[in-house]
Chains A and B, each alone.
Chain A
């Protein structure tokens, strides 16, 4: 029962709330959709924190998603021991990079008075949850070994079953506590997403790659 609530109820609730609130906020409070950058107030530590954090966590997140979307290919890829080694080493270094970056960002928010003045309570909650998540991820991959492989046979079937609306938690209930914590904390981040500055990842301006350089807006259509 408890497992069902944790691995079925909570993920669904988190995702539904994330989608509904994100859309609501986008339409009814677009002004609040901002990354709330504080680079203007503090520049030095931010460089050593923000850059490794963002690049580290984005690549790792893409790895998670790739395995989820293409489990067969992922399985074939990790079947070779050399490739598995390389993948694990890359993953671990990226996780380390992200963790160190985030620790620096955490320190910056605590130590720099200017950065402090633009840090809300929710920002702290988010920072702690994120730090916990990358820390746990790093620890789990390091301590239990071959995360990229067994992720495929534990979490991925569970997540796919959730996506197919045929929840099956058999592959995750028996996992060690820290691994489960990583899963649940992950959905906590999804839950927090629409309520915090994390919404900025939903509006990553990819359209900059193709939009016209100049933007001109006419009050009414010009040719009439």
Chain B
């Protein structure tokens, strides 16, 4: 057992309102420089949709992540030799056109235009070339709220597993459905970007698991951009360096949550420590598709287990960090309750950002100005609230995103989420019979106590409950290169000349 700690995340998709406040907070702090205008370290996508950059989930196109080949785990992008051979031209690199050409407007013209018959306009100016852009053909969130869905939503790769009937239903006006997917770097345990970088410039911080690109070592070989299946490393075309989400580590080190977490209006984001067994990484990334989620949960260790605590301490994890892991909302959502799932575990990078899949509103029609749920009642299903049988978004779609196609895993999550709703509804509105509540609890494999805790952390969490930032102890970082006690007694009142280093 090799216990390490990891600052991990949960995004609760039912709470996301798609306001993009997170994206703006991030952009204002980190990516408003030249060459980074098109970068969205944090972005919010509409699902179904092709995302940003377009079709990032299609690994036949970009070759991100890992694949199993003859039983071995291999980078999908290249072997080591092929990587060096492709260095002069990376055949799987997304280009600026797969994102969008960033632009601004010639606002000065509004003031300086000579007097004339026409209203002066502010033309769009490319922030790459500085030349006017006549046609703006793409932008961030070009397909927001299903905009242009015949082109975007219909080409979502997660729809591949659906039958034609199911696909058609999604396009019916009455059933139209979407949800939001906010994305940042997943700070994976088996990152594809790190493995793909020829220069070895990308690394994972041992203490907290944050994945960073050493700017001084990056040589613009640009393999990380293809290697990351989530397309969360970006190429700064102006500086010739790749950049990515740094999980606001300067904020974390001073005890604050990252800016996107802090600014989240829907309070969908949770941050906390997970303790995991690093010995299991390779095994966990190699199991068959349907076992991936289970294996990843299995790798996460119980922070209350004395064995785990012992091993953690042996690895130099501080008591404060262990306490933080015991208090972690992420641990509860991911392991204890099993509600949060990794995004695309099929990429085999072991992402450490987990999502609680969205319930989506119940499907109903209006009749005489009232919601008509007689359909549900006739099928003997609980009315008003979502039920799995009447899920608006085919469960297979969710499974394609969150469980590598294993429908059972997603169903279990939904049954529990439904149990929480029915339980709380019975408590507050009192229109459910106790028998129905009990049946829901049993189907969700949960208890009244657990439901209360889930409800509490979902609906009413305080700032301190959402963000349990461990002390990263960067204030003692100097110990990495200097033993503090070595310099004791070397200076003080009356000491004018340098005194020799203490020998004892």
Contacts and interface: CB of A to CB of B under 8 A. Distances in A.
Contacts of B205: 216-219
B298 interface: no
B68 interface: no
A197 B479 CA distance: 37
B276 interface: no
B389 to A, nearest CB: 43
Q: How large is the interface on A (under 10, 10 to 19, 20 to 34, 35 or more residues)?
A: 35 or more
Contacts of A114: 96, 128-129
A51 interface: yes
B235 interface: yes
Interface in B272-291: none
B237 A118 contact: yes
A113 interface: yes
Interface in B62-100: 75, 80-81, 83-84, 87-90, 93, 95-96
Nearest to A210: B80
B235 A207 contact: no
Nearest to A112: B129
A220 B240 contact: no
Contacts of A222: 206, 315-316
A66 B128 CA distance: 43
B129 A50 contact: no
Given A37-B222, A209-B80, A222-B316, A216 B204 contact: yes
Contacts of B93: 39-40, 43
B130 interface: yes
B129 to A, nearest CB: 4
A214 B193 CA distance: 9
B221 interface: yes
A46 B89 contact: yes
Q: How large is the interface on B (under 10, 10 to 19, 20 to 34, 35 or more residues)?
A: 35 or more
A205 interface: yes
Interface in B361-394: none
Interface in A163-205: 197, 200, 203-205
A224 interface: yes
Nearest to A215: B203
A203 B238 CA distance: 20
A218 B81 CA distance: 28
Nearest to A34: B240
Contacts of A30: 216-217
Contact of A117 (B128, B222, B316): B128
Contact of B84 (A50, A209, A214, A216): A209
A165 to B, nearest CB: 33
Contacts of A36: 220, 240
A72 interface: no
B218 A34 contact: yes
A55 B96 CA distance: 26
A39 B241 CA distance: 13
A39 B206 contact: no
Contacts of B203: 215-217
A33 B131 CA distance: 29
Interface of B: 75, 80-81, 83-84, 87-90, 93, 95-96, 128-131, 190-191, 194-195, 198-200, 202-207, 215-222, 225, 235, 237-241, 314-316, 474, 477, 479-480
8 contacts: A36-B240, A114-B129, A116-B129, A118-B238, A205-B87, A208-B199, A208-B200, A219-B477
